[in-house]
Amino acid sequence: MSSDEHNPLPERGERQRDSASGADPATTADELRRLNEALEQRSAELERREREFRTLADNVPALFSYLDADQRYRYVNRRYEKHWGQPAAEIVGKTAAQLLGEQGYAAARPHIERVLSGEQVTYQAEFQFADGPHTMQVSYVPDVDERGKVHGFFTLVDDITSLTRAEHGLRERECRLRAIMDTAPDAVITIDHQGIIKNFNRAAETMFGYAAAEAVGTNVRLLMPAPYCDEHDDYLARYHRTGERHMIGQRRELRGRRKDGSEFPLEVTVTEVDDAGLFVGITRDLSAQRRLEKEVARASTFEQERIGQEIHDGLGQKLTALSMMAASLKRDLARQNVPESTTLNELIEHLRQATEEARALSRGLAPVPLTEQGLAAALHRLAEDMQAATGIACRFESDPRYPVEVRNRTTAMQLYRIVQEAVHNAIKHGKPRNITIRLASTGRFAELQVSDDGTGFRADNDGGEGFGLRIMRYRAAIVGAELSIESTPESGTLVRCKLSPLDLQREGANDEEE
């Protein structure tokens, strides 16, 4: 084993050199060089990061700053300079109280105290800037080290003045709109494209019996009885699929359903607010109007029947008596060989014609017999008369196993007039070869149909219906019936009138309760 192996300590000279200098000069120089290089790299990295930070901070779309624990500004970005109208050099070093002023600092102070206690804070306040007051949304984030000590805090301030003004304007408009809606005499209901109710004014609450809180958020089907609720779903589905606006901008008469389940007639006009994705329905309760119209129709029916009966029992009987007297006088004169007896023939013929005209006038004023099957009998006679008068094949059909009994005189008369108008329209405009009148019971409804194989017409949904069609719809509405007209050019026309059995059974059945 060598001496070096037995003597691990360095020689005395070496120990003295090391002891005197503490390190090898060459090694120390290398280490210093490496330290300098690392420091330069670190400095360059810090400068790069500072540039990135300043670039980022200067381009943040908000006021960004940093304040130390003494509430002095240490950094502000360009937007801060612009809002305060001061360069950063004039702001940095100032305290929050100096920059914000007495009023602004009073608003910020409690929040600054909270952030300096380590809490993140967000609030809104109004501050006075160079160009006037601005409403700002302020966020404070504490600068906390690993030991929990707060060295300062970052601020992020958004100018929400325009937004606040817009929100204030929207609230004012909303309040005005709400006031208008709540004072409107008609029910105003808005729904989205899925049929969900979004607004429900006070008139709607009164009309349907639902509080707004109960109705908003539910489907508008809530306010409709069958089959209207199903038709509404079909309409929305077709609108989404094809964009067809069958109801929009049109005024329609439908049936509504109250909270207590009762039904009533209503008129609705629907418009679309494209930007909001909403439909607005303005609805009127037609109950009082329908009661008045039906009362007028009832009085008119009674008066027509009275006049018809008077003509039949009064004028008709007198004309018949005069005819008999004239015939008797003719016989007496003929027995006496009076030549002038033959001149009575013309008088007798005129009296006969006048009697027939009086009877026809009487039937026209009171065409429906006063029986439960009177409507069916009247329609059967109408078909026979039309065929005899025009030569067009016209027949009446009904199922004797399921007779439709109409005890309501007003309803019977209005239905008869609807059929009469439909038949006259078919003969006048359609040039048909065949006309069929059908009265039948279909489940929970009774249905009256008039169909023909004539030329038909193209339905006009823009309010261009003729007077006859409008009168038919009016008559149907009076008795609570649902009238539909289907017509295709060269394929004929089908007029359908559908109503519940209750509306057929008793006088005043369609009158709504107060």
pLDDT beyond 60 at 439: yes
Mean pLDDT of the 476-492 span: 83
Classify each residue of 39-76 as buried b or exposed e, where b means 16 or more C-beta atoms within 10 Å of its C-beta. Answer: eeeeeeeeeeeeeeeeeebeeeebbbbbbeeebbbebb
* Residue tagged 């003295």 (tokens): 16
State how far the Cα of 383 lies from the Cα of 431, in Å rounded to an integer.
16
Give the residue from 491, 485, 483, 386 showing the smallest Cα distance to 428: 386
pLDDT beyond 50 at 321: yes
At 19-44, the pLDDT tens digits run 445 556 777 777 888 888 878 888 77
pLDDT of residue 463: 45
In the structure, what pLDDT confidence band is assigned to residue 94 with cuts at 50, 70 and 90? Answer: very high
* Residue tagged 């005129």 (tokens): 350
pLDDT of residue 275: 66
At 333-355, the pLDDT tens digits run 778 877 777 777 778 888 888 87
Three-state DSSP at 66 gives: strand
At 288-301, the pLDDT tens digits run 887 877 777 777 76
In the structure, what pLDDT confidence band is assigned to residue 371 with cuts at 50, 70 and 90? Answer: low
In the structure, what pLDDT confidence band is assigned to residue 326 with cuts at 50, 70 and 90? Answer: confident
pLDDT of residue 327: 81
On whether the CB atoms of residues 148 and 182 are closer than 8 A, the answer is: no
At 186-241, the pLDDT tens digits run 889 888 888 889 889 999 999 999 999 999 999 888 898 876 666 666 666 666 66
For the chain, the average pLDDT equals 79
Q: Report in angstroms the alpha-carbon separations of 510 from 110, 131, 506, 513.
A: 70, 70, 9, 9
pLDDT of residue 242: 64
Mean pLDDT of the 468-488 span: 83
Mean pLDDT of the 369-383 span: 79
On whether the CB atoms of residues 326 and 351 are closer than 8 A, the answer is: yes
